[in-house]
């Protein structure tokens, strides 16, 4: 299908908005836009980070998900208590596939679920005593833990428990960091505020722990990788490149990360930010307090990787700059071969994306490296600054949708007819049943890594495997009545 | 009176960041920008104006300062 013109795209948005009652239509209209590269500031064309409309199907999560699920959860040597009823932690347990090295249950705890399992009496009489008891239980059962974080679920904020007091007391008793995080699910409009709250908790309870302690030997090439959650091994595929160019990666935030690494981060020379949305706050704080500059980088697809490696290297001396060139050259044969193999199979295919807070813009380059085109994109919980950074990455007259509703997304897809959709698990089965190839772009559909050169090879293979899978031709949607034999048989049975 | 995070970008220009509003803008002009006097009215590239209490020396960027919003610029 040919690409839509600007007028057609605008008409499509109007048509989709039609079904809403007036008030909702007015509100949703602000979240849908046709991309215009000449616009400098996104707030002129799109509104983001607002409360979702009641009654629509939103795909967002809660602040607890942003803190426990994204920022704190992957810190592997700490125990993160999902404080409150059991469900919030249990239903999200290990879902993000943050890989780590360690022995689970002994010195690493990433995939386990710890909860204070609130019952009625805890809500009525308060859960502070229980929480205090849990800390000691943890110490006894898992003595190799390096600290505890308390991730508040909704009820904690509602009943007003004083988790800070419990944390301070426990910290004195067990002599390890105990971090209370006020990330109750009802705060904010999406998981985004949870990231911010989690960042603030790190700032207030962790970052200063080694101020004035110079026992850690530093080098001029120390960096920290911030905002890489090692999904399917992403951070590992990134870290090797940085090390090969001569840098020393002191800390990984927070995929396969440890609390000791976080405490040492104020000693690095440069912070490298991958997921801007979830960790820019702490980077800005370190810039102000410790004068550590930070830069954003993008390790999706060879074009962006080379760009990023050079940008990172430009903050160091010639040896690192030469190192970057060496790395780019070293892998060239590899990624050229990947492109030679998959580009002919994927050339010209059109993709629609709808992901969280970074990938809607970061993966565009990787698709373009394979000759594909991104024709629609949007964020679950992006802010203005994310859209500012997206406008230039996207083609003119493409669709941009913020906090898209289930209905809008389906309608857009029906009309735009993309060859591939990259979104989350809640969207996956709807579109697969519509017969459209789909990749789950939050946890890489049980695959990965997708970062770095190694990741690009896997990314390309996965896209090909999904898109060119013969199964899509077998899927007939029920409302398209045709002479498909399987339907005829089913009807006659 | 929003708190504003200020830093210099690679071109030496002042970058404005207001966390609560996700506002990230480059400053077009600063009323006083001398070694011995800094502050006053700051005009951002989106047209909005802010006011910083003038001080007797250049602040040590990056730094968070309080500013007064003068007009919306819309
Ligand atoms: S909104 Fe509240 S109850 Fe629901 S998952 Fe989040 S923290 Fe738990």
Cβ–ligand 1 contact at A88 (below 6 Å): yes
Q: Is the pLDDT of residue A223 over 70?
A: yes
Q: Is the CB of A69 under 6 A from ligand 1?
A: no
Residue B73: band (very low, low, confident or very high) from pLDDT cuts 50, 70, 90: very low
Q: Which of A32-36, A337-341, B61-65 has the lowest mean pLDDT?
A: B61-65
Q: Find all residues with CB under 8 Å of B72, minimum gap 6, and list them.
A: B48
Ranking A150-154, A184-188, A450-454, B16-20 by mean pLDDT, the lowest is B16-20
Whether chain A has a CB inside 8 Å of the CB on B70: the answer is: no
Ligand 1 centre and the CA of A63: distance in Å? Answer: 8
Query: Binning pLDDT at 50, 70 and 90, where does residue B25 land?
Result: confident
What 3-state DSSP class applies to A351? Answer: strand
Contact A318, A221 (CB under 8 A): no
What are A16's two structure tokens?
Answer: 């989709």
Q: What is the mean pLDDT of residues B42-65?
A: 89
- Does the complex come out with an ipTM higher than 0.90? no
Where does the pLDDT of residue A488 fall: very low under 50, low under 70, confident under 90, or very high at 90 and above?
very low
The Cα A293–Cα A224 span in angstroms is: 11
In this predicted structure, the answer to whether residue B74 has a pLDDT above a threshold of 50 is: no
For residue A51 the two structure tokens come to 């409360």
First vs last Cα of chain A: how many Å apart?
37
Contact between A258 and A76 under an 8 Å Cβ cutoff? The reply is yes
Averaged pLDDT for residues A331-359: 97
Active site residue A285: no
C-beta pairs of A162-166 under 8 Å, 24+ apart in sequence: A162/A128, A163/A83, A163/A128, A163/A131, A165/A128, A166/A128, A166/A131, A166/A132, A166/A135
* Residue among A153, A184, A187, A189 to mutate when testing ligand 1 (max atoms within 8 A of CB): A153
The average pLDDT across A204-229 equals 96
% residues pLDDT > 70 (chain A): 97
Which of A49, A287, A385 lies closest to B24 in CB terms?
A385
The candidate with the shortest Cα–Cα distance to A63, out of A128, A156, A177, is: A156
What pLDDT does residue A482 have? 61
Residue A193 CA to residue A47 CA, distance in Å, equals 17
Tell whether B46 lies on the interface with A, counting CB pairs under 8 A.
Answer: yes
Best of A51, A58, A64, A191 for a ligand 1 pocket test (most atoms within 8 Å of beta carbon): A64
Alpha-carbon separation of residue A461 from A98, A255, A259 (angstroms):
21, 24, 35
What is the Cα–Cα distance from A209 to A254, expressed in whole angstroms?
A: 17
Tens digits of per-residue pLDDT, A96-151? Answer: 999 999 999 999 999 999 999 999 999 999 999 999 999 999 999 999 999 999 99
Picking from A397, A399, A375, A391, the residue whose alpha carbon sits closest to that of residue A41 is: A391
Q: Does the active-site annotation cover A182?
A: no
pLDDT of residue A493: 44
The pLDDT value recorded for residue A40 is: 81
pLDDT at residue A3 greater than cutoff 80: no
Confidence of residue A474 (pLDDT cuts 50, 70, 90): confident
Residue A44 is predicted with a pLDDT of 83
CB contact under 8 A, B22 and A287: no
Please indicate whether, in this complex, the C-beta atoms of A291 and B64 are within 8 angstroms of each other. no
B23 to A384: CB separation less than 8 angstroms, yes or no = yes
pLDDT at A1: 53
pLDDT at residue number A43: 82
Asked if the model's pLDDT at residue A480 lies above 90, the reply is no
Whether A153 lines ligand 1, by a CB cut-off of 6 Å, is yes
Mean pLDDT of A348-372: 96
User: Given A287, A288, A383, which is nearest B22 (Cβ)?
Assistant: A383
The answer, yes or no, to whether residue A492 has pLDDT greater than 70, is no
Report the nearest-CA residue for atom 3 of ligand 1.
A154
DSSP states along A235-247: HHHHHHHHHHTT-
Whether the predicted pLDDT of B46 surpasses 90: no
Q: Is the CB of A154 under 6 A from ligand 1?
A: yes
**Average pLDDT for chain B:** 86
**Averaged pLDDT of chain A:** 94
Mutate to test the interface with B, among A385, A386, A387, A391 (most CBs of B within 10 A): A385
β-partners of residue A433 are none
A65 is catalytic: yes
* pLDDT at residue B72 is higher than 60: no
Which pLDDT does position A2 carry in this prediction? Answer: 62
Residue A41 to residue B22, Cβ atoms within 8 A:
no
Cα-to-centroid distance, A187 and ligand 1 (Å): 10
CA–CA gap between residue A363 and residue A369 (Å, rounded): 10
Query: Measured from the CA of A62, which atom of ligand 1 is nearest?
Result: 6
Q: Which two tokens stand for residue B10?
A: 């690679």
pLDDT for residue A481 is more than 70: no
| The pLDDT of residue A478 is above 80 | no
Q: Say what the pLDDT of residue A487 is.
A: 47
Told to judge if A196 belongs to the known catalytic residues of this protein, a careful annotator would answer no
Lowest mean pLDDT among A72-76, A166-170, A212-216, B33-37: B33-37
Q: How many CB atoms lie within 10 A of CB A279?
A: 27
The predicted-structure confidence for A452-471, as pLDDT tens digits, reads as follows 999 999 999 999 999 999 99
Question: For ligand 1, is residue A156 a contact (CB within 6 Å)?
Answer: no
Q: Is A64 in the pocket of ligand 1 (CB under 6 A)?
A: yes
Distance from CA of B32 to the nearest CA of A (A): 22
What is the enclosing helix (H) or strand (E) of A7?
A: helix A6-17
- Quick one: pLDDT at residue A95? 87
- Which of A40, A41, A284 minimises the CB distance to B17? A284
Give the separation between CA A81 and CA A272, rounded to whole angstroms.
Answer: 29
A414 Cβ contact partners less than 8 Å away, ≥ 6 residues apart: A434
Q: pLDDT value at position A183?
A: 97
């Amino acid at each position: 299908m040919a690409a839509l013109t600007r007028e057609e795209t605008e008409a499509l948005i109007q048509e989709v908005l039609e079904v809403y009652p007036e008030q909702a239509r007015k509100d949703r209209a602000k979240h849908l836009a046709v991309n215009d590269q000449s616009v400098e500031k996104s707030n002129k064309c799109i509104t983001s980070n607002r409360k979702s409309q009641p009654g629509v199907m939103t795909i967002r999560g809660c602040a607890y998900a942003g803190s426990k699920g994204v920022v704190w959860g992957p810190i592997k040597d700490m125990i993160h208590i999902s404080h409150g009823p059991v469900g919030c932690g249990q239903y999200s347990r290990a879902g993000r596939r943050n890989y780590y090295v360690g022995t689970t249950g002994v010195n690493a705890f990433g995939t386990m679920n710890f909860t204070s399992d609130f019952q009625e009496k805890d809500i009525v009489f308060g859960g502070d005593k229980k929480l205090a008891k849990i800390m000691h239980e943890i110490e006894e059962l898992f003595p190799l833990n390096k600290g505890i974080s308390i991730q508040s679920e909704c009820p904690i904020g509602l009943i007003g428990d004083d988790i800070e007091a419990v944390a301070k007391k426990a910290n004195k008793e067990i002599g390890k960091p105990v971090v209370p995080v006020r990330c109750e699910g009802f705060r904010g409009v999406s998981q985004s505020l949870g990231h911010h709250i989690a960042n603030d908790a790190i700032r207030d309870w962790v970052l200063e722990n080694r101020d004035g302690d110079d026992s850690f030997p530093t080098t001029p090439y120390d960096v920290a990788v911030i905002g890489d959650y090692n999904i399917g091994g992403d951070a590992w595929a990134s870290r090797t490149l940085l090390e090969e160019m001569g840098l020393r990666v002191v800390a990984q935030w927070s995929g396969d990360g440890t609390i000791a690494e976080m405490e040492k981060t104020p000693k690095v020379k440069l912070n490298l930010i991958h997921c801007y949305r979830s960790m820019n706050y702490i980077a800005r704080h370190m810039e102000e307090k410790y004068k550590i500059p930070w830069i954003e980088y993008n390790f999706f697809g060879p074009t962006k990787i080379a760009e990023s490696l050079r940008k990172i290297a430009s903050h160091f001396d010639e040896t690192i700059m030469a190192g970057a060139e060496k790395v780019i050259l070293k892998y060239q044969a590899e990624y050229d071969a990947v492109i030679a193999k998959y580009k002919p199979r994927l050339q010209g295919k059109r993709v629609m994306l709808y992901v969280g807070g970074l990938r809607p813009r970061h993966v565009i380059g990787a698709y373009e490296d394979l000759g594909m085109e991104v024709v629609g994109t949007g964020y679950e919980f992006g802010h203005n600054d994310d859209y500012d950074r997206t406008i230039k990455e996207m083609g003119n007259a493409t669709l941009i949708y913020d906090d898209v509703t289930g209905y809008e997304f389906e309608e857009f897809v029906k009309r735009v007819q993309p060859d591939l959709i990259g979104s989350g698990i809640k969207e996956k089965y709807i579109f697969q049943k519509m017969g459209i190839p789909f990749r789950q772009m939050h946890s890489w559909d049980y695959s990965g890594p997708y970062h770095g050169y190694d990741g690009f090879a896997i990314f390309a293979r996965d896209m090909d495997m999904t898109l060119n899978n013969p199964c899509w031709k077998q899927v007939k949607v029920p409302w398209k009545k045709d002479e498909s034999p399987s339907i005829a048989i089913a009807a006659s049975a | 009176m929003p708190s504003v995070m200020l830093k210099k970008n690679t071109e030496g220009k002042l970058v404005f960041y207001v966390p609560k509003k996700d506002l990230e803008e480059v400053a077009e002009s600063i009323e006083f920008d001398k070694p011995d006097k800094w502050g006053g009215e700051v005009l951002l590239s989106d047209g909005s104006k802010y006011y910083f209490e003038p001080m007797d020396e250049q602040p040590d960027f990056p730094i968070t300062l309080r500013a007064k919003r003068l007009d919306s610029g819309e």
